[in-house]
Structure 1
Amino acid sequence: MTINVPQDILDALTDVKMPKLAPEPPSDAVVEAGAVKIPVFRADCVVVGSGAAGLRAAVEMKRRDVDVTIISQSAWGGTSACSGSDKQTLHTANTADQGDNFLAMAESLRAGGAMDEDTAYIEAVGSQRAMGSLQFMGLPLPQAETGAILRYQTDHDEVGRATSCGPRTSRLMVKVLAEEALRLEVPFYNQTTAIRILTDGEGKGRKVCGILTIRARERSETNPFGLAVFQCPLIVLAAGGPGELYRDSVFPNGCFGSLGLALEAGVDLVNITESQFGIGTRREGFPWNLSGTYVQTMPYIYSVDVEGKEHNFLAKYYRTTQELASNVFRKGYQWPFHATRMLDFGSSLVDLAIHRETSAGRTVYMNFNRNPEPVDGDLPFSLDRLDEDVTHYLRRAGANQDMPIDRLRHMNPLAIELYRRYKIDIAVEPLEFAVNNQHMNGGVAVDIWGRSSLPGCYAVGEAAGTHGVTRPGGSALNAGQVFGTRVAEHIAGSAEATRGAEPAFEAPLRDAVDWLNGFLRTEGAPDPDIVRESVQARMSDKAGILCTPGDVAEALAEAQALNAEIRGAGMAYHRAAEVPRAIQWQQMALASEAVLAALDHFIRNGGGSRGARAICDPDGECLPDTPQGVLEQYRFRRERESHKSNQIHVRLDGEEIRISERENRRFDPSQKPAFERDWPDWLTGQIYEKGPAGND
Structure 2
Amino acid sequence: MTIDVPQHILDALTDVDMPRLSPEAASSETVRLAGLDVPVYRAGCVVVGSGAAGLRAAVEMKRRRDDVVIMSQSAWGGTSACSGSDKQTLHTANTADQGDNFKAMARAIRAGGAMDEDTAYVEAVGSARMMASLQFLGLPLPQDPLGGTLRYQTDHDEVGRATSCGPRTSRLMVKVLAEEAIRLGVPFFNHTTAVRILTQGEGEHRRVVGVLAIRASDRSDANQFGLALFACEVLVLAAGGPGELYRDSVYPNGCFGSLGLALEAGVELVNLTESQFGIGTRREGFPWNLSGTYVQAIPHIYSVDADGTEHHFLAQYYRTTQEMASNVFRKGYQWPFHSTRMLDFGSSLVDLAIFRESAAGRRVFMDFNRNPLPVPGDLPFDLSRLDDDVKRYLGNAGAGQEMPIQRLRHMNPLAIELYRRYKVDIAAEPLEFAVNNQHMNGGIMVDTWGRSSLRGCYAIGEAAGTHGVTRPGGAALNAGQVFGTRVAEHIGARGQARTAPTADILAVAEAGAIEILAILRPDSFLTVKTIRSQVQSRMSDKAGLICDADGVCEALAEARKLNAEIKEKGIAFERAAEAGRALQWRQTALASEAVLGALDYFIRNGGGSRGARAICDPDGELVPIANSGPLEDYRFRKERGVHREEQIIVRLDSGTMAISTRPNRKFDESAKSFFERDWPAWLTGGIYNLDES
TM interval, short-chain normalised: over 0.9
Deviation, 1:496, is: 3.4
Q: Deviations over 1:267-305 (max 9, x none)?
A: 000001100000000000000000000000000000011
Aligned to 2:111: 111
The worse-fitting range, judged by mean Cα deviation, of 82-91 and 489-498 is 489-498
The worse-fitting range, judged by mean Cα deviation, of 36-45 and 474-483 is 36-45
Aligned to 2:6: 6
Q: Deviations over 1:88-115 (max 9, x none)?
A: 0000016342121000000000000000
Q: Check conservation: 1:233, 1:498, Cα contact below 8 A.
A: no
Q: Distance in 2 between matches of 1:40 and 1:505?
A: 11
Deviation, 1:121, is: 0.2
Deviation, 1:502, is: 3.1
Deviation, 1:497, is: 2.1
Aligned to 2:211: 211
Q: Distance in 1 between matches of 2:201 and 2:32?
A: 21
Aligned to 2:24: 24
Q: Check conservation: 1:325, 1:372, Cα contact below 8 A.
A: yes
Q: Distance in 1 between matches of 2:133 and 2:521?
A: 49
Aligned to 1:449: 449
| Correspondence list, 1:127-146, <5 A | 127-146=127-146
Going from structure 1 to structure 2, the CA distance change for 1:691 and 1:506 (only over 3 Å counts) comes to closer
Letter of the 2:437 counterpart: N
The worse-fitting range, judged by mean Cα deviation, of 234-243 and 222-231 is 222-231
| Correspondence list, 1:33-72, <5 A | 33-72=33-72
SS across alignment from 2:140: coil
Aligned to 2:277: 277
Going from structure 1 to structure 2, the CA distance change for 1:164 and 1:45 (only over 3 Å counts) comes to same
Aligned to 1:636: 636
**Number of aligned residues:** 693
Aligned to 1:74: 74
Going from structure 1 to structure 2, the CA distance change for 1:690 and 1:669 (only over 3 Å counts) comes to farther
Q: Distance in 2 between matches of 1:94 and 1:175?
A: 26
Aligned to 1:223: 223
Deviation, 1:691, is: 10
Q: Check conservation: 1:192, 1:214, Cα contact below 8 A.
A: yes
Q: Distance in 2 between matches of 1:464 and 1:34?
A: 32
Q: Deviations over 1:42-95 (max 9, x none)?
A: 111000000000000000000000000000000000000000000000000163
Q: Distance in 2 between matches of 1:424 and 1:317?
A: 29
Q: Could you list the runs of 5+ residues in structure 2 that have no partner in the other structure?
A: none
Deviation, 1:222, is: 1.2
TM-score by length of 1: 0.99
The worse-fitting range, judged by mean Cα deviation, of 503-512 and 136-145 is 503-512
Deviation, 1:371, is: 0.3
Deviation, 1:627, is: 1.8
Q: Distance in 2 between matches of 1:609 and 1:504?
A: 51
Deviation, 1:266, is: 0.4
Letter of the 2:281 counterpart: T
Aligned to 1:328: 328
SS across alignment from 1:671: coil
Going from structure 1 to structure 2, the CA distance change for 1:441 and 1:692 (only over 3 Å counts) comes to farther
Q: Deviations over 1:224-283 (max 9, x none)?
A: 110111100000000000000000000000000000000000000000110000000000
Q: Distance in 2 between matches of 1:76 and 1:122?
A: 28
Q: Check conservation: 1:447, 1:691, Cα contact below 8 A.
A: no
Q: Distance in 2 between matches of 1:632 and 1:220?
A: 60
Aligned to 1:401: 401
Deviation, 1:690, is: 6.8
Q: Check conservation: 2:207, 2:456, Cα contact below 8 A.
A: yes
| Correspondence list, 1:403-482, <5 A | 403-482=403-482
Q: Distance in 2 between matches of 1:409 and 1:226?
A: 49
Q: Distance in 2 between matches of 1:553 and 1:500?
A: 46
Q: Distance in 2 between matches of 1:360 and 1:448?
A: 45
Q: Distance in 2 between matches of 1:691 and 1:359?
A: 54
SS across alignment from 2:46: strand
Aligned to 1:376: 376
The worse-fitting range, judged by mean Cα deviation, of 199-208 and 467-476 is 199-208
Are residue 560 (structure 1) and residue 554 (structure 2) matched? no
Letter of the 2:260 counterpart: G
SS across alignment from 1:571: coil
Q: Distance in 2 between matches of 1:473 and 1:177?
A: 21
Q: Distance in 2 between matches of 1:58 and 1:659?
A: 33
Q: Could you list the runs of 5+ residues in structure 1 that have no partner in the other structure?
A: none
Q: Distance in 2 between matches of 1:689 and 1:355?
A: 48
Identity of aligned residues (%): 72
Q: Check conservation: 2:259, 2:587, Cα contact below 8 A.
A: yes
| Correspondence list, 1:70-219, <5 A | 70-93=70-93, 95-219=95-219
Going from structure 1 to structure 2, the CA distance change for 1:535 and 1:501 (only over 3 Å counts) comes to closer
Q: Check conservation: 1:232, 1:503, Cα contact below 8 A.
A: no
Deviation, 1:28, is: 3.5
Are residue 234 (structure 1) and residue 237 (structure 2) matched? no
Q: Distance in 2 between matches of 1:153 and 1:691?
A: 42
Letter of the 1:205 counterpart: H
- CA-atom RMSD, angstroms? 1.0
| Correspondence list, 1:612-691, <5 A | 612-689=612-689
Q: Distance in 2 between matches of 1:288 and 1:49?
A: 21
SS across alignment from 2:65: coil
Q: Distance in 2 between matches of 1:576 and 1:129?
A: 46
The worse-fitting range, judged by mean Cα deviation, of 21-30 and 131-140 is 21-30
Letter of the 2:592 counterpart: S
Going from structure 1 to structure 2, the CA distance change for 1:692 and 1:169 (only over 3 Å counts) comes to farther
The worse-fitting range, judged by mean Cα deviation, of 385-394 and 491-500 is 491-500
Deviation, 1:190, is: 0.2
Going from structure 1 to structure 2, the CA distance change for 1:101 and 1:150 (only over 3 Å counts) comes to same
Q: Check conservation: 1:210, 1:229, Cα contact below 8 A.
A: yes
Q: Distance in 1 between matches of 2:23 and 2:123?
A: 35
Q: Distance in 2 between matches of 1:199 and 1:596?
A: 27
Aligned to 1:319: 319
Q: Distance in 2 between matches of 1:441 and 1:155?
A: 15
Aligned to 1:524: 524
Q: Distance in 2 between matches of 1:44 and 1:516?
A: 24
Q: Deviations over 1:435-475 (max 9, x none)?
A: 00000000000000000000000000000000000000000
The worse-fitting range, judged by mean Cα deviation, of 337-346 and 519-528 is 519-528
Q: Distance in 1 between matches of 2:140 and 2:469?
A: 31
